[in-house]
Amino acid sequence: MKNSLFIRAITRFSAGVLLVGGLLFGSAGTWHYPQAWLLMGILFLPMFAAGLIMMKKNPELLQKRLNVREEESEQRQVILLSGLLFLAAFLAAGLSFRFGWLMLPMPASGIAAVVFLAAYALYAEVLRENTWLSRTIEVQEDQQVIDTGLYGIVRHPMYMVTVVLFLAMPLVLGSVISFVIMLGYLPVIIKRIRNEERVLEAGLPGYDRYMKKVRYRLIPFVW
């Protein structure tokens, strides 16, 4: 199993590197796009390291994270919309660099990179806290409600972290236009959360009590 899981993981990882790199450098029309290299580094190097750690310590979690086949039709729409947003945002960033459209200075990209890495660290903590995390909306066998750590603050800390990550990406790339495009992720993730909570409330024992205990879904004191 580990050999096939490794091959699957490294194939998915390599495809991601090629896709993101192709979109950014292809639309920029040059390899000399420093902000793109910065994003590629802070995005894929920690991802590769995290994959190796999961492969060694928790291959079941890695298996879940590689599963992207959604059964919920509403969630398939969310995945499609998210993919289109990323495609548009990366193309816009490369074109902005090529033509000098509303580009941020390099120090701003550096600050955004620090924010991105801090969110990445929180992402790792969420994975540590909840071993039932999957990329698909489902109730798993023997799954339990997690209400400690970040889950005691908001009901969906993974999505809270991804919002920070995804909004930081275009700023790392230095593109204001790309950032505006990625703001479209907010209504998309809200749609996903509402559907996910309906599924969990219906199928996960104790989730209704958890929803009453932890009031905020995504942002403390806001929503």
Q: How many CB atoms lie within 10 A of CB 140?
A: 13
pLDDT higher than threshold 90 for residue 18: yes
- pLDDT classification of 6: cutoffs 50, 70, 90: confident
Phi (first) and psi of residue 175, to 5 degrees: -110, 115
pLDDT higher than threshold 80 for residue 96: yes
Contact between 123 and 43 (Cβ < 8 Å): no
Over range 43-64, report the average pLDDT: 78
What tokens appear for 210 in the block? 């958890």
| Domain covering 2-213, topology | Four Helix Bundle (Hemerythrin (Met), subunit A) (1.20.120)
Give the Cα separation of 122 and 120 in Å (integer). Answer: 5
Query: Where are the chain's structural domains?
Result: 2-213
What Rg, from alpha-carbon coordinates, does the chain have?
A: 18
Contact between 72 and 195 (Cβ < 8 Å): yes
Q: What's the pTM value of the predicted model, to 2 decimals?
A: 0.86
Scored b (16 or more CB within 10 A) or e, 166-177 reads: bbbbbbbbbbbb
